[in-house]
Amino acid sequence: MPIAAQTFETQRSEIAGFKIADIVKNYGTPAYVYDMAKIEERVRDLSAFDVVRYAQKACSNIAILDRLRRLGVVVDAVSAGEVKRAIAAGFNPKADPHCIVFTADVFDHEALSVVKEYGLHVNCGSPDMIQQLGKAIPGSSVTLRINPGFGHGHSQKTNTGGPQSKHGIWHEDVVECLRMADLHNVIVTGLHMHIGSGTDLEHLSQVCESLEKIALQVGRTLTTISAGGGLPVPYRQGQTYVDLDQYYSLWDATRKRLEASFGHPLSLEIEPGRYLVAESGFLIAEIRAIKKMGENMFYLLDAGFNDLARPILYGAYHPISIAHRDGRISKQTADVVVGGPLCESGDIFTQEEGGFVAKRELPVASVGDYLILEVAGAYGFVMASNYNGRYRVPEVLLENGSMHCIRARETFDDLIRGETIPPVH
């Protein structure tokens, strides 16, 4: 069943049944909050797939990883740090060697040693990784991440296929990679394609076709195919979800044709990041100044692009709502620009790709009211920085009627941790 189009309200007093005023009373602003019930709902949507592998880069807090693990989801890790996060969240590769897959285009030295220590399966995005893995751990089985020669993304920066992308093994190099795998005692058991974030069904059928062609070149050693990530979620009023039944059917048909050729079953994986966590996340900020600059009215917040970078990185659009501090509902609206506190003119949440400042029709608000950046759970907190000497904000999990702080607000000690002033001679 296709999921209905999304509608976004511009005023709210609650998130997932919790009063915004109560959340702010407990944790202050800015703060990220995640609605666990929404994550659970999104996991259930994907139950047709044999394996749901969470691309933790989207939101890697260990509490979120723990809850996903309890829901039967496994993880993708792109660095030694992400592998260790997964282990800290209870994933145990010694008991289940496929619960963490390492996916990258390069091994740094720490990543290769972590892969060796935990015996992780690797999804190789470069021919060099095959050689390096074969030398370090002869007899390894690997997945090849293929760049099919075309890509797709919600922005050029999230397009991960085609000749301009650094990701994956070029589709014409597969035969050479198989020769190299033989030479280095590595067995190719998986194929993976992730062409970018924001997949649609038209691109998907090209991806399936391309994966099938390459799978037939690899042959009967294959046991797994992965659809990668990229499942979109609506960020704007009226945007729809991909029809998951059709999405699954395209991949399942590809899998079945390959099973018929190989004469053995193939496991079908999906590797979403955004789809599982984006809609669960809200960044609550307080409006700290309201000012007019010529024809533009600005709402200036205590959160900036150091807290949520997607608008400045991609011109990404986030739905915005206002919660009045006194709980009133405002009938009047104004076209406003929403910005943050950073000493950077690009610190604007209502911007378009290319940095052009845009206005948004929002309820008339006052200093002290709360402004909520919505659908902020994916690529939100994980991209936060300490730019301008700002502390990274807390993360709060709303679950079964309770609020849990799953990451504390940073302090000045966190800000200067590891820094030293050398003696002057």
Enumerate the active-site residues. Answer: 343
* C-alpha distance across the termini of the chain, in Å: 72
Q: Which of 35, 105, 269, 271 binds ligand PLP (CB under 6 A)?
A: 271
State how far the Cα of 21 lies from the Cα of 324, in Å rounded to an integer.
9
Question: Under the criterion CB under 6 A, does residue 34 sit at the interface with ligand PLP?
Answer: no
324 near ligand PLP, rule: CB under 6 A: no
Q: What are the φ/ψ torsions at residue 371 (nearest 5 degrees)?
A: -120, 130
Helices (H), 148-243: 174-183, 201-218
Helix (H, G, I), strand (E, B), or coil: what is residue 369?
A: coil
Q: Which of 134, 190, 229, 340 binds ligand PLP (CB under 6 A)?
A: 229
Q: Nearest CA to 372 among 321, 416, 313? A: 321
| Smallest separation (angstroms) from ligand PLP to the CB of 277 | 8
Region near ligand PLP per CB under 6 A, out of 37-45, 59-67, 226-234, 386-394: 226-234
- 380 contacts ligand PLP (rule: CB under 6 A): no
Chain-centre distance of CA 253, in angstroms? 27
Identify which range of 206-214, 224-232, 384-392, 393-401 contacts ligand PLP by CB under 6 A.
Answer: 224-232
Residue owning tokens 């009063």? 19
- Range in contact with ligand PLP (rule: CB under 6 A) among 205-213, 222-230, 257-265, 300-308: 222-230
Stretch touching ligand PLP by CB under 6 A, among 107-115, 238-246, 252-260, 266-274: 266-274
Q: If binding means CB under 6 A, how many residues of this protein chain bind ligand PLP? A: 17
Nearer to ligand PLP (CB atom), residue 273 or residue 340? 273
Q: Which residues make Cβ contacts (< 8 Å) with residue 5, sequence separation at least 6?
A: 234, 238, 239, 240
**Per rule CB under 6 A, is residue 274 in the interface with ligand PLP?**
yes
Q: How far is CA 371 from CA 18, 28, 152, 186, 323, in A?
A: 16, 13, 32, 53, 6
Q: Pick from 134, 234, 272, 377: which binds ligand PLP (CB under 6 A)?
A: 272
In angstroms, the CA 232 to CA 388 distance is 32
- Beta-strand ranges (E) seen in 108-223 are 121-124, 141-147, 169-170, 187-192
Stretch touching ligand PLP by CB under 6 A, among 14-22, 258-266, 267-275, 363-371: 267-275
Burial class (CB in 10 A: 0-12, 13-18, 19+), 391: middle
Binder of ligand PLP out of 126, 140, 197, 306 (CB under 6 A): 197
Q: How far is the CB of 206 from ligand PLP (least distance, A)?
A: 17
Structure tokens at 157: 């920066």
User: Interface with ligand PLP includes 143 (CB under 6 A)?
Assistant: no
230: contact with ligand PLP by CB under 6 A:
yes
* Residues in region 102-131 near ligand PLP by CB under 6 A: 103
Query: Which range, of 80-88, 245-253, 272-280, 387-395, touches ligand PLP by CB under 6 A?
Result: 272-280
| Binds ligand PLP by CB under 6 A, chosen from 231, 308, 375, 406 | 231
Q: Is 306 in the site for ligand PLP (CB under 6 A)?
A: no
Q: Judged by CB, which is closer to ligand PLP: 152, or 392?
A: 152
55 lines the binding site for ligand PLP (CB under 6 A): yes
Exactly one of 61, 160, 254, 306 binds ligand PLP (CB under 6 A); that residue is: 160
Nearest distance in Å: CB 228, ligand PLP:
5
Q: Where are the beta strands (DSSP E) in 208-252?
A: 224-226
- The conformation of residue 357, written as its DSSP 8-state character, comes to B
Closest distance to ligand PLP from the beta carbon of 310 (Å): 12
Element (H, E) at 38: helix 36-45
As to burial, measured by CB atoms within 10 angstroms (0-12 exposed, 13-18 middle, 19+ buried), residue 389 is: exposed
With a CB cutoff of 8 Å and minimum separation 6, the contacts of 41 are none
Instruction: Give the phi and the psi of residue 421 in degrees, each rounded to 5.
Output: -100, 115
Residue with tokens 């405002």: 330
CB of 54 to ligand PLP, least distance (A): 9
Does 194 bind ligand PLP (CB under 6 A)? Our answer is yes
Choose among 207, 234, 299, 270: nearest CA to 75: 270
**Between residues 24 and 384, which has the closer beta carbon with respect to ligand PLP?**
384
Per CB under 6 A, residues contacting ligand PLP are 55, 58, 76, 103, 160, 194, 197, 228-231, 271-275, 378
